[in-house]
Chain A
Amino acid sequence: MEFLVILYFAYTFIAFYFLMIYVMIYFQNRKEIYETIKPDKIRTLSMVIPCFNEAKSIGKNIEAFLVSDYKGLKKLIVVDDCSTDNSYEIIKQYAKKYPQVIALRTPKNTGRAAGAKNFGIKYVKTELIGFSDADSLPNKNAISKMVGFFNDPKVGGVTSRVFVNNSTNYLTKAQAIEYKIIAFTRKLLGFIESIYVTNGPLSIYRKTAFDQTGGFDEKNLTEDIELTWNIVSKDWKVHMSIPAIVRSYVPKTVKAWFHQRIRWNVGGIQTVAKYRSKFLETGMLGLFIMPFFILSWFLGLTGLVFLSYRLGRYFMMKFLVAKYSVAAQVALVSMNDFSLNPSVLFIFGIALFSLGMAYTFIALSYSRERGFITGHPLRDIFIYSFFYLLMYPPLLIVSFYKYLRGYNTW
């Protein structure tokens, strides 16, 4: 067998294996996906909300927490990171009106959310500590649906499901689909204690677990991924509550989206580099999360190489044949150009693609808020599957390049 064929088989095998893990977890646990756990007691909670130039949304965020049905929510610590708009004035007005709201301001702009969060945690004295982004809107019952997981004393963190609040164009609609699939996948990974990120819009941690981590890594561009790996590396469990919904805003322009994804990817690379000594060490971080994370990159990059190579050759061949055929005045296409004998590789590819699409539909049908079957038009699913996902590998290449060049801009 040729080297390329072996590489293709390796690629297909790993991709198939990953998908099979998800599919099997789903079939073994499908009745528990929406399960929530009733808290055995009321645990006190403080929410820390970093804010930088969020005058338009911070008020709505605070109000969403103020109407939360969770009785243990004691403090809303809103940290303004020296905004240049009137965010801090708005926060102070809420603090004046509601005693549970605490308005803080960092001595100088820290430049990233991790800095403001670390500033705010000094004021937390509750059993649980939560974080939210200033532009996120949690459902009234979101926290209540999360805290029950802390009945298990080994649980260090619980994360929520993010829905997109501004799906107005093709890009945001694709992100809406992406977020739902990510949430579903994350829930499935929770069943094998392998959640690798607790999201920024709404996540809650046991204070003792959080304190062991030493807080957020302010040098990391994805402090939420880094914190999760830190917690998991200290043998705490992380869970996800699917019924806990928080709505957030996603980039509406390609430029903003590209910038965000570069930041996420570079943050991921920074995290892998930081925890490289844990690779293949005992525990889910070293034995599953890290290999899974790294192999996902391998899949993305080799997938791009395969696709570019095959498409490049195909179109070059078609172009040259057309050029020579026109010059020779023969038919551009003949029956000999069509073959109905698919290769084994092609059949494997089709099987992988079909399984992937089936997974997408299952994930969306589990996450639908309204509508029939998936809650999204087929057109949007098509755009997501055939165009949006293809952007992942090039983004990864750019991110690696930027990481090597020392990119560290929020």
Chain B
Amino acid sequence: MLKSKKNVIWEALVVTVAIFLAGLFFGVLMEQGNSAKISNLYLQSEISLADAMATSRLTEDFNFNCNEIKQSNIDFANRIYEEAKLLEKYEESGELTSGMSLLHKKYSLLRTLLWTSNQKSLNRCNNYNLVVYLYESQNEDTAVKAKQNVWSKILLDMKMENNDILLLPIAADQNLTSLDLLIDEHGITNFPALIINNDKVLYSLESVESTQAFLD
């Protein structure tokens, strides 16, 4: 007579629950590890921002070399651009924790601060182009995402061709009061949008060449 082995139903359930809990635990660890990496980079960037803001303030009082100011700002913007790219990749793979979304918000704030701190430098030196790219990070519409993807490529290509661009991609839908005020000030209602040198606002980009035509 064959013995029934129904206990396996419960045993398999216990094993599956154990595997799932272990998987979730490692998943959370992995995402927390990614958050920690970005947090460390963010700390460095915060110091660099404070430095950039101090430099910017000095330009108001003293006659500092505009080239140095330009280079310092562009280098800093490039650095946080690379960090934000890494952050976005981690954010895309993050499913369990909300740490990445908070970091995304912090980076948006960091870039907003850089944007504001550059207003006066740009007015005085006028030797580089400040390009603020406002996009929506939480919009799941495929057409909007595709459009933003192509805008990123156009802006990156433009930046590669032109060393005088300070490119600041900022997620506009982060509920940041300072950012919302700046957006209102420029009268922006649709996204994605491009603000060139705090003056011209573009809602459509056709090509690298046509966009470059708006630069000084």
Contact = CB atoms under 8 A, between A and B. Distances in A.
Interface of A: 1, 5, 9, 13, 16-17, 20-21, 23-25, 28-29, 32, 37, 149, 151-152, 190-193, 237, 239, 284, 288, 313, 316-317, 320-321, 323-325, 327-331, 334, 336, 339, 341-348, 351
Contacts of A328: 150, 153-154, 205-208
B92 A343 contact: yes
A341 B89 CA distance: 7
B20 A329 contact: no
B36 interface: no
B95 A28 contact: no
A25 B2 CA distance: 14
B11 interface: yes
A330 B153 contact: yes
**B16, B20, B152, B207 — most chain A CB neighbours (10 Å):** B16
Given A192-B4, A341-B34, A5 B95 contact: yes
Interface in B84-112: 85, 89-90, 92-96
B147 interface: yes
Nearest to A312: B142
Given A328-B153, A344-B24, 16 more contacts: A16-B19, A21-B9, A25-B5, A152-B2, A239-B2, A324-B149, A328-B150, A328-B206, A328-B207, A329-B207, A329-B208, A331-B153, A341-B90, A344-B31, A344-B95, A346-B93
Contacts of B152: 336
Contacts of A9: 20
B23 A347 contact: yes
Contacts of A28: 5, 8
Contacts of A344: 23-24, 26-27, 30-31, 93, 95-96
Contact of B146 (A149, A320, A348): A320
B47 interface: no
Contacts of A190: 2
A193 B9 CA distance: 11
A191 B4 contact: yes
Nearest to A329: B207
Contact of B15 (A24, A193, A336): A24
A87 B136 CA distance: 72
Contacts of B1: 151-152
B147 A324 contact: yes
Interface residues of B, number: 45
Contacts of B206: 327-328
B10 to A, nearest CB: 10
A105 B145 CA distance: 68
B157 interface: yes
A317 B208 contact: no
A331 B4 CA distance: 62
Of the candidates A16, A29, A324, A348, the one having the most CB atoms from chain B within 10 angstroms of its own CB is A324
B213 interface: no
Given A1-B96, A320-B142, A328-B153, A17 B27 contact: no
The 10 A-B pairs at the shortest CB distance, nearest first, are namely A344-B27, A320-B146, A324-B150, A343-B93, A341-B93, A20-B12, A330-B153, A21-B12, A17-B16, A152-B1
Contact of B145 (A37, A317, A336, A347): A317
Contacts of B154: 328, 330
Interface of B: 1-2, 4-6, 8-9, 11-13, 15-16, 19-20, 23-24, 26-27, 30-31, 34, 85, 89-90, 92-96, 142-143, 145-147, 149-150, 152-154, 156-157, 205-208
Of the listed residues B23, B143, B207, the one surrounded by the most CB atoms of chain A closer than 10 A to its CB is B23
A5 B146 CA distance: 23
A25 B6 CA distance: 9
A10 B16 CA distance: 12
B16 A345 contact: no
21 contacts: A5-B95, A23-B12, A24-B8, A24-B15, A151-B1, A152-B1, A191-B2, A191-B8, A192-B4, A192-B5, A192-B6, A192-B8, A320-B142, A321-B146, A321-B150, A324-B149, A330-B153, A334-B153, A339-B92, A342-B93, A343-B92
Contacts of A149: 2
A6 B165 CA distance: 43
A348 B95 CA distance: 12
B143 A320 contact: yes
B12 A24 contact: yes
A325 B206 CA distance: 10
A187 to B, nearest CB: 11
Contacts of A325: 150, 153
Contact of A321 (B4, B31, B92, B149): B149
A288 B13 CA distance: 13
A294 B105 CA distance: 44
Nearest to B31: A344
A16 B26 CA distance: 18
Given A17-B16, A191-B5, A192-B5, A330 B145 contact: no
Contacts of A321: 146, 149-150
Nearest to B98: A1
Contact of B85 (A13, A29, A336): A336
A343 B95 contact: yes
Contacts of B94: 343
A347 B1 CA distance: 42
Contact of A17 (B12, B26, B93, B156): B12
Contacts of B20: 9, 13, 16
Contacts of A313: 142
